[in-house]
Chain A
């Protein structure tokens, strides 16, 4: 798993798994479908990604389908980082 995926995976595990929840998250674990991140909680994850990676994620691209896996999220971040990041 590359550094970006690892960082996203670690953030999701830290922020969205309860103490004692021993599920493991890899880059293909269904996060939304699997009930780890719900659609309401996606906004806080989106804001974290925008701040951490200096990007602007359009709402139309922040969908449950994209955010369902670490791999999907990482692909989105990589695509947006290659485009113009949001000015800070």
Chain B
């Protein structure tokens, strides 16, 4: 077995109070993520330490110290105040992985507004859905993305400010404001908003089976979880050079691409580039990265490129590798052990948990293919789906459940208390995934408990796809399900029933693909389309996606007794 024992003995009995004490936070006292990720490091004498090394695909590089983060995030906060943003406002960050995004994130939190990062590849419909639901009052974006915002702005009466980072004033439209990081004042002192642990901080949208995506609302107190898990589950220590692949539009990119690492005082690497194996290895080598937090899809892409490419680079600086987003298959663990001399450690968590909850932690015995064990301070169980009681029998699959109350558990879904209440049964928070326990207490992932598609580590809801498809004049109805994929684990496949007079074919397939890609996102774009005469439905007319999914995965269809007969 890879790894070593001893870690579990060291961490037994520890809980979140350790994190609070180290961050200087009391349960009822002030806590502000923006301050804790910049000013606090300066008070600890690390102002001159490199906080951020940013590079883009053309090789341009920018470096920022913790003091730079402090004064520039102050500058961002002051800029936003001047633009009319007030505490509690939702401010969307709709940008690529550019330095302005990271500085604006901290600035938004310092002034008491709520940061709402969104994946910059979202199409206008996905963008509209999330901005409308949140009542977002300001959006910070770039020249290459502003056209999408302009097309939906008239439908968003709450959106008062559109701030564009790289357009000259002459190119702006009415109601748009320029923001230039190069000329943003460095503000030495800013009165940080007196937030507490329960003050809202970050709003991340996440997809479910039914309805539109829901806004998962995080609070400033989440930093306790993100700090301690970054330290113990990712092994971060001051002086580390850390790279997290994730985009800040997703929770990994904020919890472990901003909050966790900077609260630990490490140097964080950001590469604003699409996937390129040679580029990635060169990036790790050049900056002598010590910890790398990646994703199974990216790892499988690297596996496909071959071990020899990795061997051409000196990656001996890497001390710990971890993975997130979807189950890490055993083959990938063995490959990384052979290629990098150490395994990727799988970690499990989700938008609603805000932090890693189950993991293969540094120093812990890694069981390839396993999710690992609960993080200290997390009580996790496998519940019977009918009784919601813990399953004692090892190897029996059930619902992954957590005892509520860890610091980064979401405070709720935005404007959707009913959906939030539905996440709890019998005193447990239900994750929506299924797993089984082994005799050593390791969790083993079985699958989702609903129709949500996990593609490349990102959740995509079928409802959003099927709703958008109805806007194609050829489509009568559709069903979106997951299909196995060797790189992304799952990809979207849609089954489409056409209206009379329309014919399926490659031309319509491309039209549907491009339409969904542009309106929703590349993740929601089906990788396969099948035109069918009818969809399986219950007698009440509800589409039974699980039958279509089972066919794609080669699994038994399950109970057919409620199906409408042909």
Interface residues of A in 19-52 (CB under 8 A from B): 19-23, 30-41, 43-44, 47-48, 50-51
CA A79 – CA B38 in complex, angstroms?
Answer: 54
B344-352, B372-380, B507-515: which lies at the interface: B507-515
Q: Is the CB of A43 within 8 A of B527?
A: yes
Residues on the A chain within 8 Å of B274, using CB: 30-39, 64
Which of A30, A38, A65 is most buried by chain B, counting CB atoms within 10 A of its CB? A38
Interface check A63, CB cutoff 8 A: yes
Query: Are A64 and B456 touching (Cβ within 8 A)?
Result: no
* A68 partner residues in chain B, CB cutoff 8 A: 276
Q: Are A41 and B525 in contact (CB under 8 A)?
A: yes
Q: A38 and B522 in contact (CB under 8 A), knowing A18-B144, A20-B146? A: yes
CA separation between A87 and B488, bound complex, in Å? 29
Complex CA–CA separation, A48 to B147 (angstroms)? 25
* Among candidates B96, B487, B507, B523, residue contacting A35 with C-beta atoms closer than 8 Å: B96
Contact A33 B144 (CB under 8 A): no
Please indicate the chain A residues that have their CB under 8 angstroms from the CB of B273 in the complex.
33-35
Contact B121 A18 (CB under 8 A): no
Asked whether A2 is an interface residue with its Cβ less than 8 Å from the other chain, the reply is no
A21 to B305: give the CA distance in the assembly, Å: 31
Judging by beta carbons under 8 Å apart, are A44 and B513 in contact?
yes
The yes or no answer to A15 lying at the interface (CB within 8 A) is: yes
Q: Which residues of B contact A18 (CB under 8 A)?
A: 144-145, 147-148
Set of chain B residues within 8 Å of A35, measured between Cβ atoms: 57, 96, 272-274
The 0/1 profile, CB within 8 Å of A marked 1, for residues 474-488 of chain B is 000000000000011
Residues of A within 8 A of B510 (CB): 44, 47-48, 51
A residues in contact with B121, CB < 8 Å: 38
Contacting pair B456 A40 (CB below 8 A): yes
- B525 contacts across to A, CB distance below 8 A: 40-41, 43-44
Q: A43-B527, A44-B514 are in contact. Are A34 and B522 (CB under 8 A)?
A: no
Pick the residue among A23, A38, A63 that contacts B304 (CB under 8 A).
A63
Closest chain B residue to A17, Cβ basis: B144
Q: How far is the CB of B413 from chain A (nearest CB, A)?
A: 26
Complexed CA–CA distance, A51 and B509 (Å): 10
Instruction: Assess whether B517 is interfacial by the CB under 8 Å rule.
Output: yes
B313 interface hit (Cβ, 8 Å): no
Kindly report which residue of chain A lies nearest to residue B272, judged by CB atoms. Answer: A35
Residues of B within 8 A of A44 (CB): 510, 513-514, 517, 525
Q: State the Cβ distance, A19 to closest chain B Cβ, in Å.
A: 4
Q: Please state if A51 and B517 are interface contacts (CB–CB under 8 Å).
A: no
Check if B522 sits within 8 Å of A40, measured CB to CB: yes
Flag if B522 contacts A41 (CB, 8 Å): yes
Q: Name the CB-closest residue of B to A44.
A: B513
CB-CB < 8 A to A20: which residues of B?
A: 143-144, 146-147
Check if A64 sits within 8 Å of B517, measured CB to CB.
no
Q: Check if B522 sits within 8 Å of A19, measured CB to CB.
A: no
- Asked whether B12 is an interface residue with its Cβ less than 8 Å from the other chain, the reply is no
> Per a CB cutoff under 8 Å, which of A41, A50, A63, A65 touches B517?
A41
A47–B511 CA distance with the chains assembled, in angstroms? 10
Task: Determine the chain B residues whose CB is within 8 A of the CB of A34 once the complex forms.
Answer: 57-58, 273-274
| Closest B residue by C-beta to A31 | B274
Shortest beta-carbon distance from A52 to chain B in Å: 9
Interface residues of B in 104-139 (CB under 8 A from A): 121
Contact B517 A32 (CB under 8 A): no
Q: Which of B96, B121, B145, B517 has the most CB of A within 10 A?
A: B517
In the complex, B301 has a CB within 8 A of chain A: yes
Give the contacting residue for B144; candidates A21, A38, A51, A64; CB below 8 A. A21
A20-B147, A44-B525, A65-B305 given. 11 additional CB < 8 A pairs? A20-B144, A21-B143, A33-B276, A34-B274, A35-B272, A40-B517, A43-B525, A47-B509, A51-B507, A64-B274, A64-B301
28 contacts between A and B (CB under 8 A): A19-B147, A20-B143, A20-B147, A21-B144, A22-B143, A30-B274, A30-B276, A31-B274, A32-B274, A32-B275, A32-B276, A33-B57, A35-B57, A35-B272, A35-B273, A37-B274, A38-B274, A39-B275, A39-B487, A40-B456, A40-B491, A40-B517, A41-B517, A41-B522, A44-B514, A50-B506, A51-B510, A65-B305
Name the 8 nearest CB pairs between A and B, nearest first: A40-B522, A44-B513, A19-B147, A21-B144, A33-B276, A51-B506, A20-B147, A32-B274
